[in-house]
Amino acid sequence: MQQPKQILKEIYGYDEFRPKQLEVIEHTLSGQDSVVIMPTGGGKSVCFQIPALIFKNVTLVISPLISLMRDQVEALKASGVQAAYFNSSQSDFDKRLIIDDCLENKIKLLYLSPETLVHAFESWLKNIPVSFIAVDEAHCVSMWGHDFRPEYGQIKALRSHYRNMPFMALTATADKITRKDISTQLDLVNPQLFLSSFNRENLNLAVRSQVPKKQKEKEIINFLHARQDEAGIIYCLSRKECEKWSSFLNSNGFNARHYHAGMDSSNREAVQDGFINDNYTIICATIAFGMGIDKSNVRWVIHNNLPKNIEGYYQEIGRAGRDGLPSDTVLYYNYRDVVLLNDFVKDSEFKETYQEKIRRILNYAEATSCRRNILLSYFGEFNEEPCNNCDVCKNPPEFIDGKTIAQMALSAIMRTNQQIGVNLLINILRGAKTMDLFDHGYHKLKTYGVGKAHSFVDWQHFMNQMINLGLIEIAYDDYLKLKVTQAGDEILRTSKPFQLSKPTIAKKSEKAKNTKKVAASNPDDALLDALKSYRKGVAQQNKVPAYVIFHDATLTEIASRKPKNEFELLEIQGMGKVKLDRFGGMILKLVDENRSPNKKSKKSTIDETFTLYQDGLSVEEMAQERNLSPTTIYGHLCKLYEDDRPIDLNRYVTEFEVNQVKQARKAQRNTNQLRPIYDQLKGDVDFHKIALALTILSKYH
């Protein structure tokens, strides 16, 4: 019998297990039940796949989404493992072949959905010898889970038939009550809990509070410009917001799509497949998107609104950086998000529990201490050291005497009979001259103008803290009116000292620093490009996502270490024996070509685009060939034109459109910025055409 570590190296290409993995595997091989809690990207699949390869008969893997099954099965097949999925997307003929393979014991892992499992058991599955059952995304079985699915409740009925074999329940996020409920709902027998660390050091955590819409749009555009061609997800609370963000980003030259439950299944699947296969890089989605995404190279996640709870938030940001490379997360929120979230749960029989979860995520968003440690403590993992990879640690607050500031605000709230919201309060304190303020006579209050020494933004900073520290409550059921609490009244009427953190000017976000060896390496860019190009070709030939062939981290390590032979190549993390046999020869050839001192100097990225242009390819074809966005290709064409290369930009923009841009530019005082010209033309000319037209005009006009 093969040992787990031997399988890990030969099939997966890794030398060492991650924390808890080997313990889970050995516990399962001894025939016992388990509940496995590992964060997204923590290696849950290895925990059940390796026992499956050791057990004699088939292992059933219950998974909620077709896309997740398909990706895991393709990845296993690429590593030489006999695996299959069985679901409604397949023809009767394909299903028959899979059933025959299972009866002949040719399949080691069979993936099914909960619905398919029950139907199959009533017909053919009970005749299949089974060794082990793994339930993935097990939080779906619990009413307390953040993504409860009633169909998961049917799994328990099968336990009586499979009583003498191990069951494993796996999920990325579950608090204590959910963990206990998973065991009950699946009828697990004395299950061992395996709780892995939730610390994802490669994720940079940032929160932005009360940012006006236009400012948020500007910030996100700048954020994306700094991450051209990097894949990411923007999560929104509503379907309408998803569609608006997708439209807005596309109008600004980005390649984005929206995804939500209101779309028909074929459109949802097309969007998801396009994202997985790098046809476009940005998805604007509700939480309906993501659980089935096994894409390893998502580099950023943005939340447009406050999430419903910490469990969901943690799982969503965990979709970034699954390959262990540095990735960014940004959470935007305002108090109206809290109103909306409370409206969602106001009629639920579990209203109090859900409201407490909302309060916990709000406390996280308004924290002035290390954000990572707050997340870790929520899941029962405690750490006192600052992470140095969140916005609070990077810009640690400086505390000041906040007694007078707090008393100004608290007094103003009381003098208005606690009938005002945050913005109006700040306007009173700053002595603003607004109609709503004068209509209510608030300009006559003693507190009118007492805080004018502080900016509006500074006051927002102070108010967030006072709310978070419990001096002030927001009446979410009464138009967001501010109420002074007992703690606030104590600050207002006693000499008790009180501190607030001083407002700081946020530094520009840095790329997260990763302590892993692969991230700290110095890859050869030319070789890395060649490896990615080869991977893309193999992926297209096999009709699978590129990361199924190799993760970015594996290619980066190859480009850094430049292995000279198969033995050295096998030392690369992620290079198993099957992949070595299939791809090793070509990879070593690419490395050797890149290492040769007599090799021709690599063309610049712009020269490569020029070669494809000369071959007559369209912009879309060039972008696909280069694995770049169309926006980047248009930028290359403009640069080539400016450098007097034989480029005909009139292939992509007509003389009439150039003249339109010329007139609009003149009307906008000869600006070279795209947005004013786009607005002047009322959106009749696309952004990329405006850029092309400006390039032509700058050269000859």
Amino acid at 368: T
For residue 608, give Cα distances in angstroms to 354, 626, 645, 651.
Answer: 54, 8, 13, 19
The answer to whether the CB of 133 falls within 8 A of the CB of 59 is yes
3-state SS class at 233: strand
The answer to whether the CB of 167 falls within 8 A of the CB of 133 is yes
pLDDT at residue number 412: 96
Residue 690 sits at the vertex; the CA angle it makes with 686 and 692, to the nearest 5 degrees, is 115
Q: From CA 190, how far away is CA 187, in angstroms rounded?
A: 9
Q: From CA 550, how far away is CA 117, in angstroms rounded?
A: 31
pLDDT (tens digit, 9 = 90+) per residue, 81-108? 999 998 877 888 888 899 999 888 899 9
Q: Is 636 exposed, middle or buried (0-12, 13-18, 19+ CB in 10 A)?
A: buried
Q: From CA 435, how far away is CA 441, in angstroms rounded?
A: 10
pLDDT at residue number 357: 83
pLDDT at residue number 597: 53
pLDDT at residue number 21: 93
CATH architecture of 517-595: Orthogonal Bundle (1.10)
Q: From CA 542, how far away is CA 79, in angstroms rounded?
A: 13
Q: From CA 327, how far away is CA 603, in angstroms rounded?
A: 29
CATH number attached to the domain at 4-195: 3.40.50.300
Buried-exposed string 264-284: b where 16+ CB fall within 10 A, e elsewhere: eeeebeebbeebbbbebbbbb
Amino acid at 611: T
Tokens 């939480």 sit at which residue?
287
pLDDT (tens digit, 9 = 90+) per residue, 318-353? 889 988 889 999 999 988 898 889 888 888 877 877
Q: Is the pTM here over 0.95, yes or no?
A: no
Domain extents in the chain: 4-195, 203-391, 398-502, 517-595, 605-700
In order, the DSSP letters of 508-526 are: PPPPPP--SHHHHS---HH
Compute how many other C-beta atoms are within 10 angstroms of the C-beta atom of residue 366: 16
The answer to whether the CB of 400 falls within 8 A of the CB of 500 is yes
The two domains 4-195 and 203-391 share their CATH topology (first three levels equal)? yes
CATH number attached to the domain at 605-700: 1.10.10
Taking the alpha carbons of 151, 155, 157, 158 in that order, is the dihedral positive or negative?
positive
Tokens 């290359």 sit at which residue?
636
Alpha-carbon dihedral 233, 84, 546, 562, rounded to 10 degrees: 120
DSSP category for residue 8: I
Q: From CA 625, how far away is CA 621, in angstroms rounded?
A: 6
In which residue ranges of the chain is pLDDT below 70? 1, 41, 143-147, 288, 290-294, 384, 468, 476-477, 504-522, 596-603, 699-701
3-state SS class at 489: helix
pLDDT at residue number 62: 92
Phi-psi region of 431 (alpha: psi -120 to 50; beta: other; left: phi over 0): left
Amino acid at 45: S
Alpha-carbon dihedral 177, 178, 180, 183, rounded to 10 degrees: 170
Residue 227, both tokens: 């991450």
| β-strands 298-303, 472-475 pairing | unpaired
CATH number attached to the domain at 398-502: 1.10.10.10
pLDDT at residue number 628: 77
Compute how many other C-beta atoms are within 10 angstroms of the C-beta atom of residue 672: 13
Q: From CA 255, how far away is CA 633, in angstroms rounded?
A: 13
Buried-exposed string 557-580: b where 16+ CB fall within 10 A, e elsewhere: bbbbbbbeebeebbebbbbbbbbb
Query: What separation, in Å, do the N-terminal and C-terminal C-alpha atoms of the chain show?
Result: 77
pLDDT at residue number 1: 61
Q: What CATH topology corresponds to 203-391?
A: Rossmann fold (3.40.50)
Tokens 């892993």 sit at which residue?
516
